[in-house]
Structure 1
């Protein structure tokens, strides 16, 4: 148990480190592009710095959420502030939708009358942005847990969405310089927006599933019920609930009806051990009942 907590703590420290480095890189490039845009009078640079601003904000939000999550539980917040990370992920997912919407809207207007774009300078700026975003993404992947931590995943998707945008800008710039094909800019923008939307949907649905107290996707509730029911002396398993508090922290509660002649504490100990070993759930609340305990029907 202690070892698990230690591992969790290490992972959180790593997540924080990855986020901080990514935030520093993104904020630096944002300022560079903003002032560069003002100096060169380049709209592409200024709009990309706006893009970077949304990224900086989402990375900062994820970092704040992580700091909040480490705050201790209180009598009024008995689970602590872990859920703040999920709320941050939900918010980030929503902003990705808004950004994609803006890109599509702008692209449609540009398709009607494609403006002449300075392909060369656009490619140069996009290349700087791409290197920065790939660096940020690399640090997030190397240091953090972008696969299982919803909060970190949402920040990572923001950075990756920007990297895609930069790749799109480089390709569009090359096409415009080679063939004066100015429609490439909006067309590629729409493709990027669709890719962003696809990722954003994943983060949103995952966050909503957690906030709705959904069973963790990695755990089969029927399997848990069968495993508990197979313990010798257990007659029935009911009121079984499994939910996620935050990424990597699952909870379980249930009632076990045991045979009257059995030692309920032995069965309880066995059940807790099985849940921990087979399903990696550390936060378990089990109520042991005998045949003469009549529990009222619960709402859920």
Structure 2
């Protein structure tokens, strides 16, 4: 009502700050509701993102209002109307009192956190430079001016000061264009103050990781990777769940003989210092590498009678096998989680070592030993004693073995 009676667009721009303060009160109520609300099966992480959304919406609406003021001010430069100053100064002080009372009396946790975590606005930087200059002349004011000022209080005081200057210039010289200039100044200060906060809250909504915690997270992950039993830490993902709340998930691969619960407790104890909502998935290293000899054997070192040639079973169709793994190539099945470059069923026959290498001409006995042992895969070999067993990685091995020098099978 006072804005229309005075015909002042600068007072209208300052009134938009009052509307923003009303939105901040609504955000404070949402924050209190989130505090008492417990997580549900639908919102398993809680409702903290509602207050982030409220801050983002409030700052974006304030910026849209500033853009509207800039558009109206550009139109007023073409045709400047007359400004009535009867209620201009009264409306300014009423709005200033309401804005300061709202910002200083109510403990608004979301906006307090955003104002500290977001980057400084250009208005704060200029005021900080001016404060350092003043404190250089009067050192006693350093405790008042040097700390970082609240951006909302700063814009309220700056807007009220612009309206007071407008009132004086219109009363003295009837210079109505200063009202439009003050409106543009208030709109620019509003946009510059709200923009860093909207960017910060928008990044939280996009589930990004805050840059200032990169070093701490990297240090914690290195500590986790050195825990007893941990082989690998992978697929780590951390994001900001709410203001001051960090969530994350990580996959940990451990040894086969490691205690899952013990490793889980140690990992959670390390990461809980920074990540309040954590999901840890433990994988055991169950992959067994077969002990195979794939290097060429020197003729002057080994005799083929010390080895056993295993005839491989018939291969399946080539289209059902994958050349890099021994599993059938199914388009719908995902690749194995831990992939090693090990031979499978589609390789040529291999020679399995049965005893240690023995050079010729040393008078060693090369005769056969009585049948007294079996391999650890469940099948016996005639003429072999209790020697070292070897895992072949094959399930269907024929029961025919040869002992002649050419490695031919004998019935």
Give the conservation status (yes or no) of the 8 Å contact 1:216–1:250.
no
SS of 2:272 mapped into structure 1 = helix
Deviations 1:196-232 (A, max 9, x none): 1122222222222122111134421544433432434
Q: Distance in 2 between matches of 1:291 and 1:43?
A: 76
Residue of structure 2 aligned with 1:256, choices 252, 256, 262 = 252
1:19 aligns with: none
- Structure 1 residues 163-242: aligned runs within 5 Å: 163-220=157-214, 221-242=217-238
Distance 2:31 2:182 in 1: 35
Q: Which residue of 1 aligns with 2:84?
A: 118
- Structure with the largest fraction of helix: 1
Structure 1 residues 49 and 203: alpha-carbon distance in aligned structure 2, compared to 1, 3 A threshold? closer
1:262 CA displacement: 3.2
Structure 2 SS opposite 1:115: coil
Alignment-derived partner of residue 325 in structure 2: none
| Unmatched tracts of structure 2, length 5 or more | 119-149, 288-335, 340-411
Partner of 1:58: 23
What pairs up with 1:1-300 in 2 under 5 angstroms?
34=1, 37=2, 41-44=5-8, 47=12, 51=16, 54-55=19-20, 57-69=22-34, 70-119=36-85, 121-140=87-106, 144=109, 146-148=111-113, 161=155, 163-220=157-214, 221-277=217-273, 279=274, 281-292=275-286, 295=337
| TM-fit CA distance, 1:162 | 5.0
**TM-score where L is the length of structure 2:** 0.54
* 1:100-137: CA deviation from partner (whole Å, max 9, x where unpaired): 01111121122223333234631232122112212222
Deviation digits for residues 44-80 of structure 1, max 9, x if unmatched? 4984796366335413431442244232222222233
Taking CA–CA contacts closer than 8 Å with sequence separation of 6 or more, which of the two structures ends up with the larger relative contact order? 1
Mapped contact 2:220–2:270 kept (Cα < 8 A): no
Q: Tell me how far apart the structure 1 counterparts of residues 178 and 109 of structure 2 sit (CA, whole Å).
A: 35
Structure 1, gaps ≥5 residues long:
1-33
In the superposition, relative to structure 1, how do residues 188 and 145 fare at CA in structure 2: closer, same or farther (>3 Å)?
Answer: same
